[in-house]
């Protein structure tokens, strides 16, 4: 029956070999990329995720932009800047030829109003904390002060923007790669509704105005986003792509098939089994490179037996991280023996977890559970996803083998899982952290007392102090020394158990030129261009 059906369908479809979208794109400089999901919002102040960021990078230009090769800050909307010797005052000189896509000049006042908007309490921007290095920004954002003039943002003239920080922030420029720092066309936003209305329709293609190299043309939910080269962009002649299609395919298998059939130039995060296949059989189509993220297990230190540091350490020492990265993940991930990914802005932690089953057993015995006897029921909580499950299953077996303890696995639907974490209602919880910017603080600040993402019940005064020290000094050596000490404490106290460091796996056709891998996987669309494959 189905055979007949298929034959009919084929007659109807009957097209045979056709030029693929990718081949067409190569001719017309139209890039098609898989974007991992449907962007929730294209308002830089509201957007939070990777799919949003990828599109926003093409639509808006912050003061600086990330060089695709090495992530060094390149002049974006600002053509130059000065930093005061104490590292507190930044003065940016905007380009005179900076234009919004409606032709208006991009002015320093635009930046002031944009930052004002991000920090407005009534907007409820989730990533407003990215602007907290600015003096009084946090206080304003939390409603403690209401006069924005007190915040360290000032337009000295139309093309000079002065930012005043509340303390030294050496990584400030790399923070500016984040969307929260993008300027937005406040006048346009006001035209379409309230400035602090999250649902303001100004990001619709028909209303959209941006200052980036591309401008939004189409946005069909769950279908595609199309951006076109912006003629008003100051550096438009360097932009070689004419169009970029962002395909919102959430399903990794679907995206991989689209890549294989020539519908996408590039696709990130293919299914693990496919990564292994490509690496083995089609290495020219896949790039695997470090990604600024760590996969960890959080340990609830308020619950016995995990309130005992020895138990936590025993658990962390009794696993074979290499087996996990090599057999389960198989996409070049590195085993994580500490929290901050190696070489994050030149920082690599010197304290490592020692994997040693017998020492782990020893520790467990000292904690009162010789050979796992009387070890109470401990649950590993994770949200439902194939990889999380496989890792949990593998760890469970390792603990059983090495420590003779029975750990129960418990999967929950995503939001229920988040809720359990937030309420510290778990024993061991899976967690992953992708750095917001390239600096160790984005990882180490997580576990300070009162950090919203701590969620382990762990609190250590010395650790908090070291993190504060690092935050308040501009001296790189002193900062990194403080980080080393802090991370050593973390690895000794073990409220978290690092498992592996992320890699990004990207399927990418050789016809895509000018693209370089980097640890935050930022696109530099200005440098990307397409060259048809010769064959």
Partner 1 sequence: MLRFITRRFLETIPVLFIIATATFFMMRLTPGGPFDSEKQVSPEIRARMEAHYGLDKPLFQQYLLQMKHLLQGDLGPSFKYPGRSVNEIIADSFPVSLELGCEALVVALVFGLAAGMVASLKQNSAWDHIPMGLAMIGICVPTFVLGPLLISAFALHLDWFNAAGWYFPRDRVLPALTLGAYYAAYIARLCRGGFLEVLNQDYIRTARAKGAGGAQVLFKHALRGGILPVVSFLGPTVAGVLTGSFVVETIFGIPGLGRFFVTAAFNRDYFMVMGSVLFYACFVMACNLVADVVLVWLNPKMRFE
Partner 2 sequence: MADSTPMTMVEPVETGGGASFWQDARHRLWKNKLAVFGLAVISVLAVLCFTAFLFPNITGYSYEQQDLVLGPAPPSHAHWLGTDPLGRDLLTRLLYGGGISLSVGLCATAVSLIIGVIYGAIAGFAGGKLDMLMMRFVDILYALPFVIFVILLMVFLGQNIFLLFVAIGAVSWLTMARIVRGQVMAIKRQEFVEAAHALGLRRGRIIFRHIVPNLLGPIIVYATLTMPEVILLESFLSFLGLGVQPPHSSWGVLIKEGAEVMEEYPWLLLYPGFVMALTLFSLNFLGDGLRDALDVRGSKD
Q: Which stretch in 9-17, 290-298, 387-395, 428-436 sits in contact with partner 2 by CB under 8 A?
A: 387-395
| DSSP bridge pairs for 512 | 530
Is the separation of the CB atoms in 70 and 279 below 8 Å?
no
User: 490-508 burial string, b = 16+ CB within 10 Å, else e?
Assistant: bbebbbbbbbbbbbbbbbb
Cα distances from 432 to residues 45, 362, 435, 506, 531, in angstroms, run 23, 29, 10, 19, 37
Our CB check for partner 2 shows the closer of 126 and 425 to be: 425
The verdict on whether omega for the bond into residue 440 sits within 30 degrees of 0, i.e. cis, is no
Nearer to partner 2, 98 or 429 (CB): 429
> Per residue, what are the HEC states of 92-157?
EEECCCCECCCCCECCHHHHHHHHHHHHCHHHCCCCHHHHCCECCHHHHHCCCCCCHHHCCEEEEE
Kindly state the tokens that stand for 10.
């084929």
Residue 452 binding result from partner 2, partner 1, none, given CB thresholds of 5 to 8 Å by partner type? partner 1
389 binds, among partner 2, partner 1, none (CB under 5 to 8 A by kind): partner 2
- Asked if 525 contacts 238 with a C-beta cutoff of 8 angstroms, the reply is no
Q: Interface with partner 2 by CB under 8 A: which range of 22-30, 229-237, 410-418, 507-515?
A: 410-418
The partner in contact with residue 237, picked from partner 1, partner 2, none with C-beta cut-offs of 5 to 8 angstroms by kind, is none
The tokens for 254 are: 């679907």
Residues sharing a CB contact under 8 Å with residue 282, sequence separation 6 or more, in sequence order: none
Q: Based on the shown chain and the rule CB under 8 A, indicate whether residue 430 belongs to the binding site for partner 2.
A: no
List b or e across 60-77, with b for residues whose CB sees 16 or more CB atoms inside 10 angstroms: bbbbbbbebeebebebbb
Give the whole-angstrom CA distance, residue 457 versus residue 299.
9
Of 327 and 358, which has the nearer Cβ to partner 2? 327
Closer residue to partner 2 in complex, CB, 328/359? 328
The entry of partner 1, partner 2, none that residue 411 binds, CB within 5 to 8 Å by partner kind: partner 2
Q: How far is the CB of 189 from partner 1 (least distance, A)?
A: 11
Q: Least distance (Å) from partner 2 to the CB of residue 498?
A: 19
Using rule CB under 8 A, residue 261 touches partner 2? no
- Whether residue 430 contacts residue 498, with contact meaning beta carbons closer than 8 Å, is answered with no
Residue selected from 156, 323, 432, 478 as contacting partner 2 according to rule CB under 8 A: 323
**Residue 467 · residue 448 · CB < 8 Å:** yes
Work out whether 393 is an interface residue with partner 2 (CB under 8 A).
yes
| Residue span binding partner 2 (CB under 8 A) among the ranges 25-33, 151-159, 165-173, 273-281 | 273-281
- Name which of 396 and 459 has its Cβ closer to partner 2: 396
Distances (CA, A) of 21 to 24, 30, 33, 109, 218: 5, 9, 11, 42, 18
The contact set with partner 1 (CB under 8 A) reads 1-2, 5-6, 9-10, 12-18, 21, 38, 40-41, 43, 46, 48, 121-126, 128-129, 141-143, 198-201, 203-204, 220-223, 247-251, 253-254, 257-258, 260-261, 263, 413-416, 418-420, 422, 431-433, 452-453, 455
Minimum CB distance to partner 2 smaller for 229 or for 430: 430
| Smaller CB separation from partner 1, 239 or 264 | 264
Q: Which of 72, 97, 122, 327 binds partner 2 (CB under 8 A)?
A: 327
Q: One symbol per residue from 513 to 532: x for binding partner 2 (CB under 8 A), - otherwise; what is it? A: --------------------
- Tell me which of partner 1, partner 2, none is bound by residue 431, counting a contact when its beta carbon lies within the kind-specific cut-off of 5 to 8 angstroms: partner 1
Under the binding rule (CB under 8 A), the answer on residue 409 touching partner 2 is yes
Which residues, in sequence order, are CB contacts of 206 under 8 Å at separation 6+? none
Determine, following the binding rule CB under 8 A, whether residue 386 of this chain makes contact with partner 2: yes
Per CB under 8 A, 358 contacts partner 2: no
In whole angstroms, how close is the CB of 424 to partner 1 at the nearest point?
A: 12
Between 2 and 534, CB nearer to partner 1: 2
Looking at 408, 432, 478, 531, which residue binds partner 2 (CB under 8 A)? Answer: 408
* Helix, strand, or coil (residue 273): helix
**Among partner 1, partner 2, none, what does residue 397 contact (CB within 5–8 Å per kind)?**
partner 2
CB nearer partner 1, residue 406 or residue 414: 414
474, HSE (Cβ side, Cα atoms, 13 Å):
14
CB atoms near residue 197 (< 10 Å): 14
**Which residues have CB under 8 Å from 7's CB, separation 6+?**
none
Among 274, 287, 313, 430, binds partner 2 (CB under 8 A): 274
Min. distance of Cβ 49 from partner 1 in angstroms?
8
Does 410 help bind partner 2 (rule: CB under 8 A)? yes
Contacts with partner 2 by CB under 8 A: the residue count is 26
User: Of 169 and 200, which CB lies nearer to partner 1 in the complex structure?
Assistant: 200
Using CB under 8 A as the binding rule, whether residue 328 contacts partner 2 is answered as yes
- Ramachandran bin of 124, using left for φ above 0, alpha for ψ from -120 to 50, beta for the remaining angles: left
| Residues 6+ away with beta carbon under 8 Å from 370 | 364
DSSP state of 374: T
Q: What is the CA radius of gyration of the chain?
A: 25
Residues that bind partner 2 (CB under 8 A): 253, 271, 273-274, 276-277, 320, 323, 327-328, 384, 386, 389-390, 392-394, 396-397, 408-413, 416
């Amino acid at each position: 029956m189905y055979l007949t059906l298929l034959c009919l369908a084929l007659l109807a479809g009957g097209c045979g070999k056709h030029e693929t979208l990718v081949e067409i794109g190569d001719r017309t400089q139209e890039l098609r990329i898989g974007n991992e999901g449907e962007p929730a919002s294209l308002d830089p102040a509201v957007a939070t995720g990777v799919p949003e960021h990828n599109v926003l990078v093409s639509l808006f230009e912050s003061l600086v932009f990330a060089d695709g090769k090495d992530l060094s800050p390149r002049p974006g909307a600002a053509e130059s800047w000065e930093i005061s010797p104490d590292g507190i005052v930044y003065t940016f000189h905007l380009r005179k030829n900076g234009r919004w896509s409606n032709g208006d000049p991009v002015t320093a006042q635009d930046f002031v109003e944009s930052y004002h908007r991000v920090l407005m309490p009534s907007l409820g921007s989730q990533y407003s904390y990215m602007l907290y290095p600015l003096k009084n920004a946090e206080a304003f954002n939390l409603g403690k002060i209401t006069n924005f003039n007190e915040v360290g943002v000032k337009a000295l003239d139309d093309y000079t923007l002065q930012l005043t920080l509340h303390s030294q922030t050496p990584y400030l420029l790399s923070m500016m790669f984040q969307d929260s720092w993008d300027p937005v066309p406040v006048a346009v936003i006001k035209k379409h509704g309230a400035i602090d209305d999250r649902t303001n329709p100004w990001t619709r293609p028909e209303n959209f105005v941006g200052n980036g190299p591309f401008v939004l043309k189409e946005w069909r939910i769950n279908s595609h986003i199309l951006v076109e080269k912006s003629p008003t962009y100051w550096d438009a002649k360097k932009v070689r792509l004419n169009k970029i299609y962002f395909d919102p395919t959430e399903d990794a298998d679907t995206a991989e098939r689209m890549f294989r059939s020539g519908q996408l130039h590039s696709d990130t995060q293919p299914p693990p089994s496919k990564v292994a296949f490509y690496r083995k059989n089609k290495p020219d189509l896949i790039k695997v490179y470090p990604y600024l993220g760590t996969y960890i297990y959080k340990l609830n230190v308020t619950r016995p037996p995990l309130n005992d540091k020895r138990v936590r350490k025993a658990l962390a020492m009794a696993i074979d991280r290499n087996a996990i990265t090599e057999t389960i993940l198989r996409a070049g991930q590195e085993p994580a023996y500490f929290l901050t990914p190696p070489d994050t802005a030149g920082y690599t932690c010197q304290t490592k977890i020692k994997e040693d089953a017998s020492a782990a057993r020893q520790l467990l015995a000292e904690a009162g559970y010789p050979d796992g006897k009387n070890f109470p029921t401990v649950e590993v909580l994770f949200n439902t996803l194939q990889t999380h499950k496989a890792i949990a299953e593998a760890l469970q077996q390792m603990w059983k083998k090495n420590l003779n303890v029975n750990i129960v696995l418990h999967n929950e639907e995503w939001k229920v899982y988040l809720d359990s974490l937030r309420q510290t209602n778990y024993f061991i919880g899976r967690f992953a952290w992708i750095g917001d910017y390239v600096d160790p603080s984005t990882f180490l600040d997580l576990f300070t007392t009162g950090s919203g993402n701590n969620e382990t019940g762990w609190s250590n005064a010395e650790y908090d102090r070291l993190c504060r020290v690092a935050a308040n000094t501009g001296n790189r050596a002193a900062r990194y020394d403080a980080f080393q000490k802090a991370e050593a404490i973390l690895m000794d106290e073990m409220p978290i158990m690092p498992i592996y460091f992320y890699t990004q796996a990207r399927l990418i056709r050789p016809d895509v030129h000018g693209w370089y891998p980097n640890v935050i996987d930022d696109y530099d669309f200005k440098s990307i261009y397409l060259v048809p494959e010769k064959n």
